[in-house]
Chain A
Amino acid sequence: MRLEAKPAPTLAVTLLFPLAAIVATLLLVSLLVLAAGASPFSVFYLVARGAAGSQFALLETLTRATPLIFTGLAVAVAFRAKLWNIGAEAQLYIGGVLTVVLGTGALPLPSAILIPVLMAAAMAAGALLLLGPAVLKTRFGVDEVVTTLLLNFIVLLFVSMLLEGVLKDPMGLGWPQSQKVVAEAQLPRLIQGKRLHLGFVIAIIAAVVVWIVTKKTKLGYEMRAVGHNPEGARFVGIPVNLVLMKTALLSGGLAALAGFSEVSGLKGNLTLDLSAGYGYTGIVVAMLAMLNPLGVIASAIFVAGIFVGADAMSRAAKVPSYIADVMVATSLLTMVVAILLTRYRIRWR
């Protein structure tokens, strides 16, 4: 068999294939649901209801989508330039660390100044964390996939060390957790008494900003050129290594904002379960969005809905909530196949 390039797909086709990917995912996951002795229809219904069936469910989904928008953007930006940042998890945690280091009373500032300062500090830390692997890639040719993956483990241990050491909350009854950030460092809730917070709005703004940067600026053009064909980019005078560094700074900074927003908007303090694998899920979010920054918003809400809905479902039906992880992973693989099929047709001989 071989692949044959097709003419550029129409918008309808482009949108049809991701839909087909989702249908294929649902069919495959149905088999697992059947194996678990439940009815796929009722399980999917329960997932959908748990994700969007009430105001509470919908707000919960948007709350869960917030960190995923940030990590999804981080991955989308990096992958577009073929910088394989699999370390969003580590960058997220470093963002959380900076937020509690500076946000627990070290800076006596009013909210309007303190929050931007915390955001900038978190972004700087995340950016620097990814700059390391980017420099190793460009200077020494060390594959950034492995270094960013290994850094996830190192950073999580580092956070664990801080939470049992200098950052440990003296009032925390011995739990490895930090103190709560001061009131001025907290992002306000969007609706009184609900968990959805300003971080969601910041995430949407970030997505728009990233969209503008990637589509409308010289840097965005250079990033796409480097990702598409680094040799060609170098040939036409694009400073490939510099572009990769800038990409790394942007990507690492975005992922760190997820940590800032979770601490400042939702949890209030730093713990070792700040992220439920949001860094890794960000890869799926970015791929489902076909690396489009605005698409990331939609795909993050979709993926968050699966997780929130599956939690609700597993309490009602006897199907483990890990079905959500399976669905998300399966949709990543069906999606890359779908994208391929919009561009190529398979000839069997």
Chain B
Amino acid sequence: MDALEILFTASFWVAVIRIASPLIFATMGELICERAGVLNLGIEGIMTVGAFAGWFTVYSGGDLWAGVLVAALAGALFGLLHATLTVPLGLSQHVVGIGVTLLATSLTYFTYRLALPEVTSPPKIEPFQPLAIPGLSNIPVLGEALFTQTPLTYLAFLAVVLVTWVLYRTPVGLAVRAAGENPSAVEAQGISVTGIRMGAVVAGSALMAVGGAFLTMSAFNSFFFQMINGRGWICIALVVFGSWRPGKALVGAILFAAFDAYQIRLQQISGGIVPYQVFLMMPYALSILALILVARRTTYPKALMIPYQKGER
């Protein structure tokens, strides 16, 4: 197949949306945290926890949706740990974030080994199946790409709508955005900055964990070590790339996924002339490039990474 023809096949775009889905969840999660003023570097570990918790719930006989719920709760729990240390205690968001990632990842691996000491190949579950939306899925290419996905992908898009609506159309969203820009103004309204920030980190972490669960419950059907493979860090880059706006971040995630899906296909038709590692490097290199491109014209939430102490100015 010609390298350009790939772009016009429906199967390519179906793959793009599938690859984008976990990134969309986790990017929305990180975006909420950062809009409230907290950089959450726990993302990589929280996605790992979510991937394991969701898969393990189903493996132990639970329902698929119960798995999603358990993943979200597990993510929220680690979010609460992160928030407690960084918001009221004001500890370094860099150090705590890395610590939460290390703890979440190692706890997951420990639990996996404890629960499944004997297995050599990871056990499989029956994952979410594609659910074609009648009518819409018959539209050529675009309809097929968007409307023959699994329910979790539809949930990812719903999450973008929900996050946008909450952030820009509700008082809570206003408080979240203000907490990341000008926390004293929030406190002056009689709203607790600590409460808002902690809530944002907990909710955001739950979303990240569902992003991880997508991998084990929808994209694949089992859990294996190092399966997040830097996706969390890529989502942090996507938040910056999207200038902290849900819509732009969604576009970024889809662009990124398109690139990722394209490199996999190029790899197949390149016939081994170029080492496969070069293709695998591209997503990470692209993320760095994207950061450089937008760096000059982005405006960070002004209070990002600055702890807030009541009564301090």
Give A contacts to B, CB under 8 Å: 1-3, 32, 35-36, 79, 84, 86, 136, 140-143, 145-147, 149-154, 157-158, 160-161, 164-165, 280, 283-284, 287, 318-320, 322-323, 325-326, 328-330, 332-333, 336-337, 340
Compute how far the CA of A324 lies from the CA of B234 in the bound complex, rounded to whole angstroms.
28
**Nearest A residue (CB) for B90:** A3
Tell me if B95 and A332 are in contact (CB < 8 A). Answer: yes
- Asked if B102 contacts A280 (CB within 8 A), the reply is yes
Chain B residues within an 8 Å CB radius of A318? 117
Judge whether A158 and B240 touch: CB under 8 Å. Answer: no
Flag if A154 contacts B284 (CB, 8 Å). yes
Can you give 12 A-B contacts (C-beta < 8 A)? Answer: A3-B309, A136-B292, A140-B292, A145-B41, A147-B288, A150-B233, A157-B280, A323-B110, A329-B106, A330-B103, A333-B103, A337-B85
- Distance in Å from the Cβ of A10 to the closest Cβ of chain B? 23
Q: Which of B67-103 contact A (CB under 8 A)?
A: 81, 85, 88-92, 94-96, 98-100, 102-103
Residues on B with C-beta less than 8 A from A84 are 94
Would you give the shortest CB distance from B93 to chain A, in whole angstroms? 10
* Most chain A C-beta atoms within 10 Å of own C-beta, residue among B91, B109, B110, B275: B110
Q: A149 with B275: in contact, given A157-B281, A333-B103, A340-B91 (CB under 8 Å)?
A: no
Chain B residue with Cβ nearest A287: B95
Q: Which residue of A lies closest to B92 (CB)?
A: A336
Cα–Cα distance between A319 and B114 once the two chains are bound (Å)? 7
Contacting residues, chain A, for B109 (C-beta < 8 A): 320, 322, 325
Tell me whether A326 and B110 are in contact (CB under 8 A).
yes
Does B114 lie within 8 Å of A36, measured CB to CB?
Answer: yes
- Chain B contact residues, CB within 8 Å of chain A: 41, 81, 85, 88-92, 94-96, 98-100, 102-103, 105-107, 109-110, 113-114, 117, 229-230, 233-234, 236-237, 240, 275, 277-278, 280-281, 284-285, 287-288, 291-292, 295-296, 309-311
B27 CB to closest chain A CB (Å) equals 13
Distance of A141 from chain B, by nearest CB (Å): 5
A111 to B281, CA, bound (A): 36
**Contact between A32 and B110, CB atoms less than 8 A apart:** yes
Contact of B99 with A2 in the complex, beta carbons under 8 Å: no
Residue in chain A with minimal CB distance to B279: A157
Contact B291 A147 (CB under 8 A): yes
From known contacts A157-B280, A329-B99, infer whether A337 and B292 are also in contact, taking CB-CB under 8 Å: no
- Give the contacting residue for A329; candidates B103, B114, B296; CB below 8 A: B103
**How far does the alpha carbon of A143 sit from the alpha carbon of B105 in the complex, in Å?**
23
CB atoms of A1 and B233 under 8 A apart: no
By a CB distance below 8 angstroms, the chain B residues around A164 are 275, 277
Which of B234, B278, B310 has a CB less than 8 Å from the CB of A161?
B278
With CB as the reference atom, state the residue of chain A lying closest to B294: A142
Q: Smallest CB-CB separation from B113: which chain A residue?
A: A320
Contacts beyond the supplied A142-B295, A332-B103, A336-B92: 16 A-B pairs with Cβ under 8 Å: A35-B114, A136-B292, A142-B292, A145-B94, A146-B287, A157-B277, A158-B281, A160-B277, A283-B98, A284-B102, A320-B117, A325-B106, A328-B102, A332-B99, A333-B85, A340-B89
Whether the pair A326, B284 counts as a contact (CB closer than 8 A) is: no
- Asked if B102 and A329 make an inter-chain contact with CB atoms under 8 angstroms apart, the answer reads yes
State in angstroms the CA–CA spacing of A337 and B92 once bound together: 10
Chain A residues near B96 (CB-CB < 8 A)? 333, 336
- Closest beta carbon of chain B to A3's beta carbon, Å: 6
Q: Which among A157, A332, A337 has the greatest number of chain B C-beta atoms within 10 A?
A: A157
Chain B residues with CB below 8 A from A151, complex form:
284, 288
A146 touches B237 (CB 8 A): yes
Minimum CB–CB distance for B164 against chain A, Å = 24
- Residue picked from A287, A333, A340, most chain B C-beta under 10 Å: A333
Shortest Cβ gap from A90 to chain B (Å) = 11
Q: How far is the CA of A160 from the CA of B277 in the complex (A)?
A: 7
Contacting residues, chain A, for B233 (C-beta < 8 A) = 146, 149-150, 153
Return the contact of A143 from the options B91, B229, B240 (Cβ within 8 A).
B240
Which one of B280, B284, B296 lies within 8 Å of A150 (CB-CB)?
B284
Identify the interface centre among A79, A142, A151: most chain B CB within 10 Å of its CB: A142
Closest residue to B108 on the A side, CB-wise?
Answer: A322
Chain B residues whose C-beta falls within 8 Å of the C-beta of A160 in the assembled complex: 277
B60 to chain A, nearest CB (A): 16
